[in-house]
Amino acid sequence: MSGEFEPKIVGFLCNWCSYAGADKAGTAQSPYPPNVSIVKVMCSGRVDPQFVMAAFDKGADGVIMLACHPGDCHYTEGNLRALGRHRMLLRLLEQLGIEKERCVMDYVSAGESEKFVKVINDTVRAVRELGPFRPFSSHSGK
């Protein structure tokens, strides 16, 4: 590594669309930075806001939530639940003084490997520019 700040980002991906989209980026061998580590959930509706807050608490510099496009959710509307929770999270993060660019939600279908790579690149770039996340709880230290 070049000594440049390498952000740690946790990506929550739904099994049916986004995870498959990420797999397609793999099959297409489209390179992207290794900063995002993926946690698979069956549905983006499973992403508990606690997971996002815990990720920040445990040292993540950013979080990505990826879901099926509206209307395409394998479970009908879990993605819309995720959308609502993401909006709520943004308000909470704002209250805590955390930049909203650190918490991204987007839709990636199983076919959209290029979009997946773009979301990863954009988020990694944005978080890198923001610099390391300074934990909000005092016990976490620096």
Partner 1 sequence: MRIGVYLCNCGGNIKDKIDAEKVRAGVLGLPGVGYFKAVDFLCSEGGKDFLAGDLKTERPDRVVIAACTPREHENTFMKILASSGINPYLMQMVNVREQIAWVTEDKAMATEKAARLISAALRRVSLHEPLSKREIDVCPDVLVIGAGPAGLKAALSMAESGRRVSIVEKSPVIGGMPVRYEELFPSMECGPCMLEPVLSEVLHGEHSENIELLTLSEAVGVIGSYGNFTVKIKKRPRYIDAEKCIGCAECIGVCPASAENEFNYGMNERKAIYVPFAGALPNIPSIDETVCLRLKGKECSLCLDACPVEGAIRFDEKEQTIERNAGAVIVATGSGLYDCKKIPNLGYGRLSDVYTGAEFERMLSSNGPTEGNIKTSKGKSPKSVAIMHCVGSLDKNHIEYCSGICCQYAFKFNHLLGKKLPGVRIFHFYKELAVPGKEEFELYAHAKGDPNTTFIRYADITDLKVGSKGGKKAILFKKSAKKSDSVSVDMVVLCPAVVPLPDSAKLGGILGSPADRFGFFEELHGRLDASQSKIKGIYLAGACQSPMDIQSAMTQGMAVSGYVLSGLVHGRKLEISPVCAVVDPEKCSGCRVCVSVCPYKAISYDPEKETAAVNDVLCQGCGTCVAACPSGAIKGNHFTTEEIMAEIEGILR
Site residues for partner 1, 73-102, by CB under 8 A, read: 74-78, 81, 85
Q: Which of 7, 18, 22, 106 binds partner 1 (CB under 8 A)?
A: 22
Q: Whose Cβ is closer to partner 1: residue 31's or residue 97's?
A: 31
Largest CA distance in the chain: 44
Q: Whose Cβ is closer to partner 1: residue 15's or residue 118's?
A: 15
Which pairing describes strands 36-41 and 103-107: parallel, antiparallel, or unpaired?
Answer: unpaired
Beta pairing partners, 65: 12, 105
- Tell me whether residue 132 is exposed, middle or buried, using C-beta atoms within 10 angstroms of its C-beta: 0 to 12, 13 to 18, 19 or more: middle
Binding site for partner 1 (CB under 8 A): 1, 8, 10, 15, 19-20, 22-23, 25-27, 29-32, 34, 37-43, 45-51, 54-55, 58-60, 74-78, 81, 85
